[in-house]
Chain A
């Protein structure tokens, strides 16, 4: 079973920041937080991951709370092409453990 809880759906106005929350209250010290998104039955796309520090790349920022029990994925300027299902996944940081997907958050970006 997935170790994360996400809202089933969210809306965001185009051009605004999209903030997608994720709860992972049982996360262990050696587990990373990963984010993927899936656009209409395409393969999931890797976005970002982090352990305890905030992370930023060209796609998004990941903010992890100090107690690591929750995190927020931020898309700074959402576009219509960001409409997708976003998955937050907690995963052990060693080896190549499988990704355990929950139901994710369906983000709709509205013009």
Chain B
């Protein structure tokens, strides 16, 4: 079974621009979570989408947004990019069946550099 895929893998933008990252979950997985990883803050949770609805949100400004489509694919958008948004953006998918614990599986990430 194919794993989580993320596109693009690398991206370079300039301050003030916006960017859209894409995530395709493992087949059959219905939940997609997004994380940001920086050297200073480590791995931090951004938000989770399930059934096309945001279910949970981390402590990030409104410039960070996302959505999920009916096929469970997800996109995240960052508007008005700042230098501090340079990071590895990770997507994780899970079954979200609502029974017991739900393991998240990560994609390879998108490396965003803001100049």
Contacts and interface: CB of A to CB of B under 8 A. Distances in A.
Contacts of B58: 98
Nearest to A94: B100
Contact of B101 (A32, A100, A102): A32
Interface stretch (A3-11, A37-45, A62-70): A37-45
Contact of B88 (A34, A41, A99): A41
Nearest to A93: B101
* Consensus secondary structure, chain B interface: strand
Interface stretch (B62-70, B76-84, B103-111): B103-111
A100 to B, nearest CB: 7
Interface string A16-54: 000000000000000010101000011111100101000
Interface of A: 32, 34, 36, 41-46, 49, 51, 87, 91, 93-103
8 contacts: A32-B101, A41-B109, A44-B92, A46-B103, A96-B96, A98-B33, A101-B42, A101-B44
